[in-house]
Structure 1
């Protein structure tokens, strides 16, 4: 993880920093206090910024070429793009602009969070959910309903407050959280997959051989950041065919099978570990389980005891 902090009351310094951090831009403002503060935490393919602008700052920004989700905490933000004028208030989580389009507007004495991630993650999320096979575009800026707005904001906050700030969070945990953010974005914002008919699965591609190839790939690569698209490619089938093969022959999903393999690996490591040298949390994070409570519940369901009991027994 990388961290970066910026604070200045100099408009030229703020403009230079924001041009480097986001996209080339021009800013302006008139106030006694033109202080701006940004605290960034970044990992591969994602960054999350906490931003405070203490004055009304006009901006003219080039294309970000990334998905930019904002959660507004205080103040207001006005955004103008071709054919669209929006004014956002506290509590709203939204897409500030299309990734490939410039935009202008004002930040009006606001505090907000910005999550930036690669646009390709949207397509990967859509493929994982079997919603499409091609590039995905977001078609609206506001959440589809109040519940979706809350869900989007909570997902950004979890990434900001629990994942990217955790020095012990492994690559799998961060990658899983970022994939989850992309999937939630698709679920909460209007996009090009909405209303799309599901593709038919060719049952000839969903047999036992497909399952064996996919399962072998998962078992060999459970320690890596892999998803449905990777599993399907390794089995030489479409993601939907891979899903059908696991459902028909294993009673689960490819990602469900991946989680079980990782749980088994964590179990084996807990049994062999020295409780004086490691912890349940460290082993859980290593195998991609970011939420300790959910890991413990899943572990107890499968093995009948909490993970801490397995670790303590390893010392006997």
Structure 2
């Protein structure tokens, strides 16, 4: 199968080509003569594009209507899906670039990368064959794979389609191969990326198990220098899936929950501390707050008083 090759230094031509290949978009460049090289191969509902941009290209894209994956070889991509935080992808990253129903914006910074797209219906079709799958439609809820090994497997799948299947005209023309390759791609995506099934609560549970693991880990390790990656590892989901679960069920982020847990510990310590033996600054630092003014602001917002007032408040009389 001969690929379609696009090679241009005209930003208008590039915008027109990309709008036809993906979805209506607006782009911009940081140089006067930006070179864009694209090799596009299509097999049934699956398309595989190899792209090389010798400039920084800004983009604002309408929903694609398809599942879109990205594997970065060089350079970097600052990317933001509507309603989510910005993420930056670099060499070795294989990610969900965009779900079918959301627009996205960002900047591709002198990068070589692959874009693989396929119909969302194929995802539903393959999901329906998996044991234990819920009746509701499957949704991808995170951009990054759930583990490093899952990411490597997904990257190998994309490379197999690009380098082995699509480069063999006879193979790529066989209907059975086309169907099987598409199902392999969809199955790899469902295995590698977090879905709504991963953060769903079991019957009778108020919160997903991953969220319960995460909050328990935070509560038990708030005194240690933990971050998002450590929390996600303890919860056994990807950082992006964990952020989604916290926003959906608790209305905050994992690091926001960690901050509140540390504030609660600092509050308890200030209530019990001897004002003659410690200071607010010392207690704040023990719980990871190294800027006294910022700590005081957060403390007042959480407890309605200054931390010094808590430290110097008269001890409550003992009962009995």
TM bin (shorter chain): 0.5 to 0.7
The answer on whether the counterparts of 1:63 and 1:103 sit within 8 Å (CA) in structure 2 is yes
Counterpart of 1:118 in structure 2 is 119
Change (3 A) 1:62 1:2: farther
Q: Deviations over 1:191-241 (max 9, x none)?
A: 012266999xxxxxxxxxxxxxxxxxxxxxxxxxxxxxxxxxxxxxxxxxx
SS for the counterpart of 1:178 is helix
Which of 185, 196, 204 lines up with 1:181 in the alignment? 185
Question: How do residues 193-272 of structure 1 correspond to structure 2 at under 5 angstroms?
Answer: 193-194=197-198
SS for the counterpart of 1:120 is helix
Q: Quick one: distance in 1 between partners of 2:117 and 2:167?
A: 16
1:156 equivalent to 2:158? Answer yes
The answer on whether the counterparts of 1:77 and 1:89 sit within 8 Å (CA) in structure 2 is yes
Q: Deviations over 1:217-272 (max 9, x none)?
A: xxxxxxxxxxxxxxxxxxxxxxxxxxxxxxxxxxxxxxxxxxxxxxxxxxxxxxxx
What is the number of equivalent residue pairs in this alignment?
199
Change (3 A) 1:30 1:197: closer
Question: How do residues 129-148 of structure 1 correspond to structure 2 at under 5 angstroms?
Answer: 129-130=130-131, 131-148=133-150
TM-score by length of 2: 0.60
The answer on whether the counterparts of 1:67 and 1:98 sit within 8 Å (CA) in structure 2 is yes
The alpha-carbon deviation at position 3 of structure 1 amounts to 3.2
The alpha-carbon deviation at position 53 of structure 1 amounts to 0.6
Q: Which has the larger Rg?
A: 2
The answer on whether the counterparts of 1:2 and 1:42 sit within 8 Å (CA) in structure 2 is no
The alignment yields a C-alpha RMSD, in angstroms, of 1.8
1:92 equivalent to 2:82? Answer no
Q: Quick one: distance in 2 between partners of 1:111 and 1:36?
A: 10
1:68 equivalent to 2:68? Answer yes
TM-score by length of 1: 0.60
The alpha-carbon deviation at position 134 of structure 1 amounts to 3.1
Q: Deviations over 1:85-139 (max 9, x none)?
A: 1100100000112211111100000000111000011111111113233321100
